[in-house]
Structure 1
Amino acid sequence: MSYNSRITGVGSYVPPQIYKNSDIEEMMDTSNEWIIQRTGIEQRHWVDENTSTSDLALEASKIAIKDAGLEASDIDMIVFATLSPDHDFPGTGCFLQAKLGIEDVTAFDIRQQCTGFLYGLSMADKFVQSGSHKNVLVVGAEVHSKGLDKTPNGRAVSVLFGDGAGAVVVSRTEVKDKTKDPHIMTTNLHADGSYAKELWVAAPGSAVGPDRMSHALVDEGLHFPFMNGKTVFVHAVKRMAETLMLSCKEMGVGIEDVDLFLFHQANLRINSKVAEVLKIPEDKIFNTIQKYGNTTAATIPLGMHDAIKANKLKKGMLVASAAFGSGFTWASGLWRY
């Protein structure tokens, strides 16, 4: 027997400390005008020294579980998307499981960076459809601030990223009318590893010499992220537009039928260009990059929660989402909220 799934709960959390562009101008030898012009970012949230990725995830998860009308004990799987884990191992999903106080629940991490949430949503949907699980917690959470080069050497990348967490509960549902009933309609996942080194962190790792980490690697700055911005921009626009069209075609809907677009928030210029290519009206796109920067795997659920609170996302709406990131990976999804 095959089942359907739907998003029953949404939650998010960002650390309280805000860093406006003016707060990092001297730190990185940049300017508010430069950052806004090139990215659209006005501020970001960064954690204090004692806060971890699973701490942020816990707060977002509690809100999502409550929004779904469930208890933590009702969750039977955790899918945790992050590139900034609490520790190298075990997976951060295990730390989150313990903090939620639930035992003997499937928990695994996925490393799909900016597309992590959509990859996780697709996995949750498939597990629920199979009948093996009823309520899956999908979390995207990141603490970027502890891994950024906050000097002028790193400004091209470091101004982009913020910390935060978003979570949804994906639950089994019955769909009688596919044109009205809330459910996840489709997801499409893609990757092209030939571009892996255009956006990556080289160290630590098993491919960098005799040691996973060394003073020499640190001295070279290989533990900080590197990005070929122009290549990422071109591919992001192309791939996000392609996969959005694919998801809509699969479900027999047009771009014009979508009520709200929740794009990954990497750069406001990318989202504007995708909208231009697909002729999407600005009032159908909900952007949060100006407030949070790029929170990678947390971005889409964080934006979803903000859209709900702003009354931009309402029950029954048709939602389309797309993301592009390191790997290269890209993904899209279509669901009725």
Structure 2
Amino acid sequence: MYRSQISGLGKYVPENVVTNDDLAQIMETSDEWIQERTGIKERRHIKKGSEDTTAVMGFKAAQVALERANIDKNDIDLIVFATLSPDYYFPGCGVQIQDMLNISTCPALDVRNQCSGFVYALSVADQYIKTGMYENILVIGSENHSGGLDMTTRGRNVSVLFGDGAGAAVLSRSKDKHTGILSTHLHSEGKFAEELSLIGPSTKYWVPEIIKDNPQDNIPYYPYMNGQLVFKNAVVRFSEVIHEGLAHNDLSLEDIDMFIPHQANLRIAQFIQKKFKLSNDQVHNNIQKYGNTTAASIPIALTEAWENNKVQKNDTVVLAAFGSGFTWASAIIKW
């Protein structure tokens, strides 16, 4: 059986920085209030008139990853694109990336697992490589949140959290059994689906019904989050799925060299760090400057950690995510 190795990483975030003080100008909030609850100081938002979209940002991150992998675009056998904010209701962003890269033809697959999307996408790509079906797979996580947030006091509990950006990884086939993706672990619990959700527009609840049935103080086309329930479940599921991955590979907490959590809330990451007794050097967080970029958060953070030489050869790297669905996932990687 082959192994999947990450041969290239890339990230892209818009230039437009939105600070907590900027948000305080348009809603009832403050830098102190946001930092205390989330750890976020600023985030990136696509500026009005910019060329950036979910697909365009994914393309820009992919270009960097391909260059670093030293792989020609025509050597990509499959594109797996994770997002909750595609450019179109359909088709998905995967085919847009294929077109932007000017690849004559290749399969493109879209993954809709929100905050867990990149780890789910990584798992899908890993299986294709392990079976020998494909040799090089481009995996992208990208989000344009700012275009769909309620930027008023009414929506502040959600809107202060999210930012825009993209990250990408090239997975390549390797015969080295001692390095690469060792395992991935995926879970869901759909009874909590509406506790972190965007209900409409959808085929169940289309635009005319939304306009007709809802007063302006109850608009279902903005995200909803039961923050306390999400936090409570996240700290439990993060811990479980990390332990599951380590046990599967006969590893312990002491074997973790780098832990990169989904950047949902700095308080969640700090809770897990303290519980696992990990040092600051063993955890990479960047939510302070990018906010929660959902499917893009792990590839952006992983790329940044690698760029800063925080990930070295033979390191044991743990990725873990929890979010809407509820879904949660982990990946154990020997670098």
Q: Scaled by the length of structure 2, what TM-score is found?
A: 0.96
1:142-181 matched pairs, under 5 angstroms: 142-176=143-177, 178=178
Q: Distance in 1 between matches of 2:268 and 2:214?
A: 32
Mean alpha-carbon deviation: is it higher for 161-170 or for 301-310? 301-310
SS across alignment from 1:47? coil
1:12 aligns with 2:24: no
Name structure 1 gaps, 5 residues minimum: none
Question: Once structures 1 and 2 are overlaid, which stretch shifts more, 48-57 or 75-84?
Answer: 48-57
Offset, 1:218:
8.1
Question: What residue is the counterpart of 2:74 in the other structure?
Answer: 73
Amino acid at match of 2:251: V
Secondary structure, counterpart of 1:28 in structure 2: coil
1:188 and 2:185 matched: yes
Deviation at 1:315, TM superposition (A): 2.3
1:205 counterpart (202, 205, 216):
202
1:222-257 Cα deviation digits (max 9, x unpaired)? 100000000000100000000000000000011111
| Uncovered stretches (5+) of structure 2, i.e. residues with no partner | none
Q: Which residue of 1 aligns with 2:129?
A: 128
Counterpart residue type for residue 21 of structure 1: N
Counterparts in 2 of 1:231-250, with a 5 A limit?
A: 231-250=229-248
Task: Count matched residues.
Answer: 332
Q: Match for residue 100 of structure 2? A: 99
Provide the secondary structure at the position in 2 that maps to 1:121: helix
Counterpart residue type for residue 120 of structure 2: Y
- Give aligned-pair identity as a percent: 44
- The verdict on how the C-alpha distance between 1:155 and 1:256 changes in structure 2, with shifts beyond 3 A counting, is same
Match in the other structure for 2:59: 58
**Considering only aligned residues, what root-mean-square deviation do their CA atoms show, in Å?**
1.4
Q: Is the 8 A contact 1:203 1:217 kept in 2?
A: no
Runs of 4 or more, structure 1, over 3 Å off, are 209-220
Residue-by-residue CA offset, 1:95-150 (whole Å, 9 max, x unaligned): 11101111221101110000000000000000001111110000000000000000
> What's the CA shift for 1:215?
5.2
The verdict on how the C-alpha distance between 1:56 and 1:210 changes in structure 2, with shifts beyond 3 A counting, is closer
Shift of 1:279: 2.3
Cα distance per residue 1:291-335 (max 9 Å; x no partner) = 100000000110011111211112221100110000000000100
- Pick which of 95-104 and 244-253 moved more: 95-104
Structure 1 172/35 Cα, relative in aligned 2: closer, same or farther at 3 Å? same
Match of 2:285 in 1: 287
Label 1:57 to 1:215 Cα distance change in 2 as closer, same or farther (>3 A).
farther
Q: In the alignment, what sits opposite 2:255?
A: 257
Distance 1:213 1:63 in 2: 41
Match of 1:42 in 2: 41
User: Could you tell me which residue of structure 1 aligns to residue 273 of structure 2?
Assistant: 275
